[in-house]
Amino acid sequence: MKKKLDMLYDSIYHKIRILNLMTVILTGRRHRNLAIQLRSGECDIKENKIYSLRGNSGMKRLFVLLCLLFLLLPAFLFSQDMGGWTAAYGDWKMVGDRLVQSSTKAGMAQAYMRLPQSGIMEYQFDVKYVDGGADMFGAFGFHIGIDSAAGGKSWGNGKSFLLWLTLDPKVYGGSGVYGQAYYSKAHSIMDLVHGATDYQLPMDRLKDINLDRMAMYALPVRVRINYNTGDVKVWDPAIPKYYYRFNLGGPVRGGNYISVRSNSLAVSFGNFSISRPSSF
């Protein structure tokens, strides 16, 4: 066993020597405090003293472990627990107990989470505005029933459905705020399942909105879907017990992931609750 470990350390040690030599050749620089000299089959470490590592398995182990620590430490320092979410595109991070997408320029920002879905599912969470709405263009949404999540920037998200709230008066007219549902066939193919302006948020509901104060409020989202029939209910965030109902075109195959996303808008998501109601 000891012999096998020594052989493993020797193998890693020689690979690190080669990597260091390539770095010196390409950059012409060495670590400011730790100069590694490579000459005629031996590696010496200079830092006030010179230690020959040739044939010294103990020093080789120490050298390998220090190098591995040096390489891995930044990953531990800069990685962040995102509460089960994985960033696909955009500037995502956890701030307290909220998942925040802070870029106002990312056009297809998205973060996903593994969650098996079938039968009747209900999804609840809230959304808070952060920044990016001053130009009257932006959107956020929620992908459900994703079979295979996109790992990077994408228009769609595998086979899934996207429930979307968009602000775009230049394109759609009217109040400019519309609820939309999209059917995603692949990461690059996604189309509306109804008319783009079928579900408009009335102008009188928007007239008192002040962007400077919007960050103080959380918009509640409640969605229920019956995967066996394709029926969907989306509750109105302002009118108690009132919901919009539509069908996605028939039974929907359950998915393996969900995702939240935004378009040219910085937002935060929180207070997630996912359940399986006994009835639709």
Number of DSSP helices (H) and strands (E) in the chain, helices first: 4, 18
Domain boundaries, the chain: 2-78, 86-275
Provide the pairing of β-strand 231-235 with 243-247: antiparallel
User: What gap in Å lies between CA 10 and CA 64, rounded to an integer?
Assistant: 9
pLDDT number for residue 29 = 47
pLDDT number for residue 60 = 52
Which pLDDT tens digits describe the chain residue by residue (280 residues)? 656 556 655 665 555 555 454 444 444 444 433 333 333 334 343 434 434 445 555 655 655 555 555 555 444 444 456 889 999 999 999 999 999 999 999 999 999 999 999 999 999 999 999 999 999 999 999 999 999 999 999 999 999 999 999 999 999 999 999 999 999 999 999 999 999 999 998 888 777 777 778 888 899 999 999 999 999 999 998 888 999 999 998 999 889 999 999 999 999 999 999 999 999 9
The enclosing H or E element of 170 equals: helix 169-172
Task: Tell the burial category of 50 from Cβ atoms under 10 Å away from its Cβ (0-12, 13-18, 19+).
Answer: exposed
- pTM for this predicted structure: 0.70
The closest alpha carbon to 132, from 174, 98, 90, belongs to 90
DSSP at 182: E
pLDDT number for residue 186 = 96
Task: Tell the burial category of 280 from Cβ atoms under 10 Å away from its Cβ (0-12, 13-18, 19+).
Answer: middle
pLDDT number for residue 204 = 83
What type of residue sits at position 27? T
pLDDT number for residue 53 = 47
User: What gap in Å lies between CA 90 and CA 105, rounded to an integer?
Assistant: 9
pLDDT number for residue 184 = 96
User: What gap in Å lies between CA 65 and CA 73, rounded to an integer?
Assistant: 12
pLDDT number for residue 237 = 87
User: What gap in Å lies between CA 271 and CA 267, rounded to an integer?
Assistant: 14
The closest alpha carbon to 90, from 102, 78, 80, belongs to 102
> Does domain 86-275 match CATH 2.60.120.560?
yes
pLDDT number for residue 80 = 58
